[in-house]
C-alpha cells in the first residue's frame, strides 16, 4: 500500500489536517475520518447526488473526488449549512414544506438547492426542477421539494415576508 | 375484530392537520443516522463476493489465500449458515449453485475496506457454468434449463413427476366466464409484458453486526422490519431470538425492498467468526444485482362487454418470474387484476415461475401494477371500440359497497366511485389537450394489510408522552402516531415523542409493509392511549377519593362525572402524572393485536403526455391522482405517498427496466443506466385525497402507501394510445418502442 499523504482543508469553517490514503474518496474522508455522516453515499458514481457538498463555493460530488484533491479547499457539508443554534432559511423551508420523506437525499438536495437559489434567485418552477435534476429522490415525486426551494428563494428575495 | 370500529363522524383536533414532521430537523441537518452511519469500536469492514455467472455449479471455494492476507479476520461461505437452509438463507449465501449474476458466494471481514477488497480477489471459486434462462416465457417452455432440480409445480393435477421452472399455478375466479363471454357484444383480448423494475431507494442496504462469544448479539440495520430481521437471522444462524437485539436505523427508502434480509445474516456470521463488530454496506451495483427487484410479467387479458358498456366476463392468464426462488407474486396479480369492477364472471390464472435472476422483493403493491397495466389497457381499448367515455365505462362497472370481489371478500364502504367522481370533477379532466398530446385514465386497487402489532405509551411526569412502536418509519409514521396519540389523549401534538423501539424493548411487530402501519400501529396507539386514559382516570379518582367509574376524560383532563360532576377542578394529564408516585407509580398504556379490517384501497389516475414523433420521446405534462385515504391523518404525508408512488409508476411505464445480456448478466446495474425519474422529467402531480372512512379503524384510516403505483403504467399507456393512435403493450414504453410502434402503424 502506498504511503499516506497529508491533506489540509477547511471543513465547515474549521481547519482540518489529516494523513490519508491517496485513493480515499472525499465522501469517505468526510464520513469516516471526520465523522460527518450527513453527506450520504447512494451510488458511488456521481449520479444520485446524495453526497453533494460545496468545494470553494461550487457544488461537487464528494464520491467523485479524492480527499487529496480537496487540498487547500473550503468544504461545506450539510452540517455546516446553518448557524449552530438554528436552521438556515433553506433548511427551514424543507422542514416547513415537507420537502422530504425518508430524508436520505435531503443533504445533497439542500446543497444543490442552495447553489441554485444563490445563483438564480428568480428561478421559475421549471428552472428549479431543471436545477435539481442532478439529484435523485425516490420518495416524493419532487413536488414538495420544489415547493420548499421556491419558498426559500422567495424568502431570500423578500426577507421580511 | 368487528368491522365497525368507526363511530359517529367526529371532529378531530390534531388528526387531519398538516403538523410539522418530528424528524425534520435531524434530516435537514445531517444528524439523522441511517444504516451506514453507525460505527462500533474495533469494527471490521465486510464485503461480499458475488457470482459473475447467471447459473453455475460451485465445485469448490478456496479461501486460504484470502485468509492469509494481513488484516483479514474472517471468511464465510454457505457452510457458515448453520441454521435453517431455506430459500432466504440460500439467497443470502449460495449453496452448491450460483443462481443468478450477483448471487453471494462468500464474504470477508477485514480491518479496512481496501484489505477486504483485496481478499475478495484471492478467493478462488471453481465454477461449472450451466445454461441459464432469464425470460419468463422462455423459462416456461419445454427444454428450458431447469434451475431448481427439486422444484415440482404446485397447484396442478396430476402432480408433475419432473421438476420444471414453474413453481406454482393459482386460480382465482367466480361465475362462469364462458357464459359471460357468450353474453358479450364485444370481446377485447390483448397481451402485455412488463420488465422487472427496482425499488430504487437511494440508501443502499447497510448494517453493523456484533456477536459476542456468549451468544448475545447486536444488529444495527436499515430495514422495514427489525423484528423480522431478528427472527430470520436467528433462524438462519442458529441464534436465540432473545439474544439478538436489532435496532432499526433511519431508513433511506424501502418501498418493499427492505422487507427481507440480504447482508444482515452475512454480517452476523462474519462477526461471530471474527469476534468483532462487522459493517457491511452494499454498493449501488450490488443493490441492483442482488437485492429484490419486482417480478417481470407476461399477461394475456380478455374482457367481454355489452353494447352499453357492462362487463360480462373478464379473464386473464398471468405469468410472473420472481428470480431463482418461488414466490413471484403472480397470485397477488390474479387477485387484484379485476377487483376494481363488479363483474359476475371472472377467471384469473397465475403462474409463478423461476429464472436466473435475483430473488424478487416486494415493491409497493407487489404484483398489482403489471396486472392493472393489462386490465386497464384492455378496458381502455374496449371504451374506444364502444365509443364510450373511459371514466363513464369505469363508473358503470365500479365495485361498490356490497360488491363481492373474485378473491373472496364482500366489500364494506369503499372509495372507488368517489375517486372516479373526483377525477371527473377535476379541472384537469375538462382541460383540452394540445397537439401531439394524449390523455389516459386508469384505476388501481390494493388490498392493504393489518397484521401483528403492539405499541406502548408511557406518560412522563412532566406531562409529555413517550410512544414506542415497532414498525420502522418509512413514510412518516412517527408523525401520524404522534397525531393519533395526541388526538386520543387530548394533549398537544408536540408533547408526544414517538420512537421505533428495538427488538428487546417491545413485543413482536410485523414488517412495515402492505400499507399497514398508519392503520395497524395507529389502531394500537389509539387503544394504548385509551388504556392510559383509563389509568389516568383511576389515578384522578384516587386523588379525589371517588370511584373511578365517576371520572371521565375530556380534552386532556380527568373530570368528575355523574353525582360528582363539578365537585372537583379537572386534573390535567400533567398534574396526574406529576403525582403518580403517590397514586401507584408510573402510568402507561399498552395494546397488542393481530389487526384485521385494514380497509381496501382504490385510486384513479389521469395522465396527459406529449410525444415527440421524431425522437419517440414522451413527456408527462399533467398528472392527477385521486385516492381514498379513509381519513388522512396528515394530508402532507398522504399527498407525498400519492405523488411518490405516481412518480415511481411513471418511471416504470416510460424508462425503467432490467436489461439482461445473452450471457445472463445484468447490464444496467447503476443509476446511470437504470434511470429513475428526475425532477425535470415530472410535471406537478396533483393529489386529490378522497375520504371514505374505513369501518375497521377507530378514525376511519386506510393505508395509503401502495395504491399510487398501481394505475400509472396503464394511465401512461392509455395516454400514449390516445396521442399516437397505436397501443404499446410492453414496458418500459421507451423511445425505441414508441418509434417502432409508430413505424409499424405507418406500414
CATH number at residue B489: 3.30.365.10
| Cα B107 to the center of its chain, rounded Å | 29
**pLDDT, averaged across chain B:** 97
pLDDT grade for B343, boundaries at 50, 70 and 90: very high
Q: Look up residue B443 and give its three cell numbers.
A: 384505476
Look at residue B336 and tell me if it is in a domain.
no
Give yes or no: residues B612 and B644 share one domain. Answer: yes
Q: In what order do the strands lie in the sheet with B557-560?
A: B551-554, B557-560, B571-572
The domains found in chain A, sorted by start residue, are 5-79 (3.10.20.30), 89-157 (1.10.150.120)
Look at residue B390 and tell me if it is in a domain.
no
Q: Look at A153-157, B309-313, B329-333 and tell me which has the smallest mean pLDDT.
A: A153-157
Give the closest residue to B631 by CA, choosing from B557, B566, B698, B686: B698
Question: Considering CB atoms only, which of A41, A95, A142 is closest to B21?
Answer: A95
Give yes or no: residues B462 and B435 share one domain. Answer: no
CA distance B30 to chain A (A): 4
Give yes or no: residues B610 and B681 share one domain. Answer: yes
Are A138 and B639 in contact (CB < 8 Å)? no
Give yes or no: residues B524 and B581 share one domain. Answer: yes
Residue B647 predicted with pLDDT over 70: yes
Residue B652: which domain range?
Answer: 422-444+599-746
Contact (Cβ atoms closer than 8 angstroms) between residue B319 and residue B296: no
CA atoms within 13 A on the CB side of B593: 25
Of B201 and A1, the structure prediction assigns the larger pLDDT to B201
Q: What is the mean pLDDT of residues B173-179?
A: 98
User: Count of CB contacts below 8 A, A vs B?
Assistant: 175
Mark which of B565, B595, B625 sits at the end of a domain: B595
Are A132 and B678 in contact (CB < 8 Å)? yes
Give yes or no: residues B578 and B473 share one domain. Answer: yes
Are B643 and A136 in contact (CB < 8 Å)? no
- Collapsing DSSP to helix, strand or coil, A6 comes out as strand
Give yes or no: residues B605 and B738 share one domain. Answer: yes
pLDDT grade for B8, boundaries at 50, 70 and 90: low
Residue B418 predicted with pLDDT over 60: yes
What is the distance between the alpha carbons of residues B176 and B183, in angstroms, rounded to a whole number? Answer: 11
Q: In what order do the strands lie in the sheet with B97-98?
A: B97-98, B56-62, B124-129
Look at residue B263 and tell me if it is in a domain.
no
Nearest CA in chain B to A147: B684
Q: How many domains does chain B have?
A: 2
For B535-559, the pLDDT digits (tens) are: 999 999 999 999 999 999 999 999 9
Residue B620 predicted with pLDDT over 50: yes
Residue A159 predicted with pLDDT over 60: yes
Does B606 contact chain A (CB < 8 Å)?
A: no
CA quadruple B356, B361, B363, B365: dihedral, nearest 10 = 110
pLDDT score for B1: 38
Residues of A in contact with B637 (CB under 8 A): 98, 101
Question: Considering CB atoms only, which of B28, B36, B199 is closest to A106?
Answer: B28
The pair phi, psi for residue A17, each rounded to 5°, is: -140, 120
pLDDT score for B575: 98
- In whole angstroms, how large is the CA radius of gyration of chain A? 16
Which strand (E) or helix (H) includes residue A91?
helix A89-96
The pair phi, psi for residue B219, each rounded to 5°, is: -140, 125
For B236-249, the pLDDT digits (tens) are: 999 999 999 999 99
Which strand (E) or helix (H) includes residue B227?
helix B226-237
Q: Please name the residues between 206 and 235 in chain B that touch chain A, using a CB distance below 8 Å.
A: none
Look at residue B726 and tell me if it is in a domain.
yes
- Residue B514 neighbours by CB under 8 Å, 6+ apart: B447, B448, B449, B451, B598, B703, B706
Give yes or no: residues B617 and B689 share one domain. Answer: yes
Question: Considering CB atoms only, which of A31, A103, A136 is closest to B678?
Answer: A136
Q: What is the mean pLDDT of residues B382-393?
A: 98
Give yes or no: residues B583 and B664 share one domain. Answer: no
Q: In what order do the strands lie in the sheet with B72-76?
A: B72-76, B104-110, B44-50, B278-281, B206-211, B217-221, B244-248
Question: Considering CB atoms only, which of A95, A103, A132 is closest to B250?
Answer: A103
Q: What is the mean pLDDT of residues B318-330?
A: 97
Look at residue B244 and tell me if it is in a domain.
no
ipTM of predicted assembly, 2 dp? 0.97
pLDDT score for B3: 44
Residue B682 predicted with pLDDT over 60: yes
For A91-120, the pLDDT digits (tens) are: 999 999 999 999 999 999 999 999 999 999
Helix/strand/coil percentages in chain A, nearest 5? 40, 15, 45
For B553-563, the pLDDT digits (tens) are: 999 999 999 88
pLDDT score for A48: 98
The reported pTM is 0.97
Give the closest residue to B474 by CA, choosing from B283, B226, B692, B648: B226
Residues of A in contact with B645 (CB under 8 A): 141
Does B59 contact chain A (CB < 8 Å)?
A: no
Q: Look at A81-95, A140-154, B517-531 and tell me which has the smallest mean pLDDT.
A: A81-95
Are A87 and B640 in contact (CB < 8 Å)? no
For B178-188, the pLDDT digits (tens) are: 999 999 999 99
What is the distance between the alpha carbons of residues B662 and B737, in angstroms, rounded to a whole number? Answer: 20
Look at residue B87 and tell me if it is in a domain.
no
What is the distance between the alpha carbons of residues A99 and B319, in angstroms, rounded to a whole number? Answer: 39
Mark which of B595, B616, B648 sits at the end of a domain: B595
Contact (Cβ atoms closer than 8 angstroms) between residue B707 and residue B171: no
Q: What is the mean pLDDT of residues B331-338?
A: 98
Mark which of B556, B572, B595 sits at the end of a domain: B595
Residues of B in contact with A32 (CB under 8 A): 39
Give yes or no: residues B718 and B612 share one domain. Answer: yes
Are B643 and A42 in contact (CB < 8 Å)? no
Residue A84 predicted with pLDDT over 80: no
What is the distance between the alpha carbons of residues B156 and B161, in angstroms, rounded to a whole number? Answer: 11
Bin A13: left if φ > 0, else alpha if -120 < ψ < 50, else beta: left
- The fraction of chain B above a pLDDT of 90, given in percent, is 97
pLDDT score for B4: 53
Give yes or no: residues B638 and B738 share one domain. Answer: yes
pLDDT grade for A83, boundaries at 50, 70 and 90: confident
Look at residue B536 and tell me if it is in a domain.
yes
Q: What is the mean pLDDT of residues B106-131?
A: 98
Strand stretches in B478-586, DSSP E? 496-500, 551-554, 557-560, 571-572
pLDDT score for B2: 41
- Collapsing DSSP to helix, strand or coil, A19 comes out as strand
Give yes or no: residues B609 and B701 share one domain. Answer: yes
Of B713 and B746, the structure prediction assigns the larger pLDDT to B713
Give yes or no: residues B588 and B457 share one domain. Answer: yes
Are B201 and A104 in contact (CB < 8 Å)? yes
Look at residue B509 and tell me if it is in a domain.
yes
Give the closest residue to B710 by CA, choosing from B449, B474, B512, B447: B447
Strand stretches in B546-645, DSSP E? 551-554, 557-560, 571-572, 587-595, 601-611, 618-628
Helix/strand/coil percentages in chain B, nearest 5? 30, 25, 45
Amino acid at each position: 500500500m502506498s504511503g499516506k499523504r497529508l491533506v489540509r482543508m477547511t471543513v465547515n469553517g474549521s481547519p482540518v489536517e489529516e494523513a490519508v490514503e491517496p485513493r480515499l474518496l472525499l465522501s469517505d474522508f468526510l464520513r469516516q475520518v471526520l465523522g460527518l455522516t450527513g453527506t450520504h453515499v447512494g451510488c458511488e458514481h456521481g449520479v444520485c447526488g446524495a453526497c453533494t457538498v460545496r468545494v470553494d463555493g461550487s457544488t461537487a460530488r464528494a464520491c467523485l473526488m479524492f480527499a487529496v484533491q480537496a487540498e487547500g479547499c473550503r468544504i461545506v457539508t450539510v452540517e455546516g449549512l446553518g448557524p449552530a443554534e438554528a436552521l438556515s432559511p433553506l433548511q427551514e423551508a424543507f422542514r416547513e414544506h415537507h420537502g422530504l420523506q425518508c430524508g436520505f437525499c435531503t443533504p445533497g438536495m439542500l446543497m444543490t438547492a442552495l447553489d441554485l437559489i444563490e445563483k438564480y434567485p428568480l428561478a421559475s418552477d421549471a428552472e428549479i426542477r431543471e436545477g435539481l435534476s442532478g439529484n435523485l429522490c425516490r420518495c416524493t415525486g419532487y413536488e414538495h421539494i420544489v415547493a420548499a426551494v421556491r419558498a426559500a428563494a422567495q424568502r431570500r428575495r423578500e426577507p421580511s415576508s | 375484530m368487528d368491522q365497525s370500529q368507526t363511530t359517529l363522524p367526529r371532529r378531530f383536533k390534531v388528526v387531519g392537520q398538516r403538523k410539522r414532521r418530528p424528524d425534520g430537523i435531524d434530516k435537514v441537518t445531517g444528524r439523522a443516522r441511517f444504516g451506514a452511519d453507525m460505527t462500533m469500536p474495533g469494527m471490521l469492514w465486510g464485503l461480499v463476493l458475488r457470482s459473475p455467472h447467471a447459473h453455475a455449479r460451485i465445485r469448490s471455494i478456496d479461501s486460504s489465500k484470502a485468509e492469509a492476507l494481513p488484516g483479514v479476520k474472517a471468511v464465510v461461505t454457505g457452510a457458515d449458515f448453520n441454521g435453517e437452509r431455506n430459500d432466504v438463507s440460500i439467497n443470502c449465501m449460495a449453496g452448491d449453485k450460483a443462481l443468478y449474476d450477483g448471487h453471494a458466494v462468500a464474504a470477508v471481514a477485514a480491518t479496512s475496506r481496501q484489505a477486504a477488497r483485496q481478499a475478495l480477489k484471492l478467493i478462488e471459486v471453481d465454477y461449472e457454468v450451466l445454461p441459464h434462462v432469464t425470460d419468463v416465457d422462455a423459462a416456461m417452455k419445454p427444454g428450458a434449463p431447469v434451475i431448481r432440480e427439486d422444484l415440482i409445480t404446485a397447484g396442478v393435477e396430476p402432480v408433475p413427476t419432473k421438476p420444471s421452472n414453474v413453481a406454482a399455478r393459482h386460480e382465482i375466479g367466480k361465475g362462469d366466464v364462458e357464459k359471460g363471454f357468450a353474453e358479450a357484444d364485444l370481446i377485447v383480448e390483448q397481451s402485455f409484458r412488463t420488465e422487472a423494475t427496482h425499488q430504487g431507494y437511494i440508501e443502499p442496504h447497510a448494517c453493523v453486526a456484533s456477536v459476542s462469544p456468549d451468544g448475545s448479539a447486536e444488529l444495527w440495520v436499515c430495514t422495514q422490519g427489525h423484528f423480522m430481521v431478528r427472527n430470520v437471522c436467528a433462524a438462519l444462524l442458529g441464534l436465540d431470538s432473545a439474544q439478538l437485539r436489532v435496532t432499526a436505523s433511519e431508513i433511506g427508502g424501502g418501498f418493499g425492498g427492505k422487507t427481507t434480509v440480504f447482508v444482515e445474516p452475512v454480517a452476523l456470521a462474519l462477526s461471530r467468526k471474527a469476534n468483532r463488530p462487522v459493517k457491511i454496506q452494499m454498493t449501488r451495483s450490488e443493490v441492483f444485482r442482488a437485492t429484490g427487484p419486482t417480478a417481470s410479467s407476461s399477461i394475456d387479458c380478455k374482457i367481454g362487454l355489452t353494447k352499453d358498456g357492462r362487463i360480462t366476463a373478464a379473464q386473464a392468464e398471468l405469468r410472473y418470474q420472481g428470480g431463482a426462488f418461488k414466490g413471484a407474486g403472480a397470485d397477488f396479480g390474479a387477485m387484484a387484476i379485476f377487483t376494481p369492477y363488479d363483474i359476475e364472471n371472472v377467471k384469473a390464472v397465475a403462474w409463478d415461475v423461476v429464472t436466473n435472476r435475483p430473488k424478487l422483493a416486494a415493491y409497493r403493491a407487489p404484483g398489482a401494477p403489471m396486472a392493472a397495466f393489462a386490465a386497464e389497457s384492455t378496458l381502455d381499448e374496449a371504451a374506444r371500440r364502444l365509443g364510450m367515455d373511459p371514466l363513464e365505462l369505469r363508473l358503470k362497472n365500479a365495485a361498490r359497497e356490497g360488491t363481492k370481489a373474485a378473491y373472496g371478500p364482500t366489500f364494506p364502504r369503499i372509495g372507488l366511485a368517489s375517486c372516479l367522481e373526483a377525477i371527473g370533477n377535476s379541472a384537469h379532466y375538462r382541460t383540452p389537450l394540445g397537439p401531439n398530446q394524449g390523455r389516459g385514465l386508469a384505476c388501481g386497487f390494493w388490498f392493504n394489510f393489518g397484521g401483528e402489532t403492539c405499541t406502548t405509551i408511557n406518560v412522563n411526569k412532566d406531562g409529555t408522552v413517550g410512544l414506542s412502536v415497532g414498525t420502522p418509519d418509512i413514510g412518516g409514521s412517527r408523525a401520524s402516531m404522534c397525531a393519533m396519540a395526541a388526538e386520543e389523549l387530548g394533549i398537544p401534538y408536540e408533547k408526544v415523542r414517538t420512537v421505533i423501539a428495538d427488538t428487546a424493548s417491545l413485543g413482536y411487530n410485523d414488517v412495515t409493509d402492505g400499507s399497514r402501519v398508519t392503520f395497524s400501529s395507529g389502531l394500537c396507539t389509539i387503544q394504548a392511549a385509551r388504556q392510559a386514559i383509563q389509568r389516568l382516570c383511576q389515578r384522578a379518582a384516587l386523588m379525589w377519593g371517588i370511584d373511578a367509574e365517576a371520572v371521565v376524560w375530556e380534552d386532556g383532563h380527568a373530570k368528575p362525572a355523574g353525582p360528582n360532576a363539578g365537585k372537583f377542578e379537572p386534573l390535567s394529564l400533567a398534574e396526574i402524572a406529576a403525582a403518580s408516585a403517590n397514586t401507584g407509580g408510573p402510568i402507561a398504556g399498552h395494546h397488542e393485536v393481530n389487526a384485521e379490517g385494514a380497509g381496501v384501497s382504490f385510486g384513479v389516475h389521469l395522465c396527459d403526455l406529449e410525444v415527440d414523433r421524431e425522437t419517440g420521446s414522451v413527456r408527462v405534462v399533467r398528472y392527477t391522482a385521486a385516492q381514498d385515504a379513509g381519513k388522512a391523518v396528515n394530508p402532507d404525508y398522504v399527498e407525498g405517498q400519492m405523488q411518490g408512488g405516481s412518480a415511481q409508476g411513471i418511471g416504470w411505464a416510460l424508462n425503467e427496466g432490467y436489461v439482461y445480456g445473452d450471457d445472463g448478466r445484468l447490464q444496467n446495474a447503476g443509476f446511470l443506466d437504470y434511470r429513475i425519474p428526475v425532477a425535470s422529467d415530472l410535471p406537478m402531480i396533483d393529489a386529490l385525497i378522497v375520504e371514505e372512512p374505513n369501518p375497521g379503524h377507530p378514525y376511519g384510516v386506510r393505508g395509503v402507501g401502495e395504491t399510487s403505483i398501481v394505475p400509472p403504467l396503464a394511465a401512461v399507456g392509455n395516454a400514449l394510445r390516445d396521442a399516437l393512435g397505436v397501443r404499446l403493450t410492453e414496458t418500459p414504453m421507451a423511445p425505441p418502442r414508441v418509434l417502432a410502434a409508430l413505424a409499424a402503424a405507418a406500414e
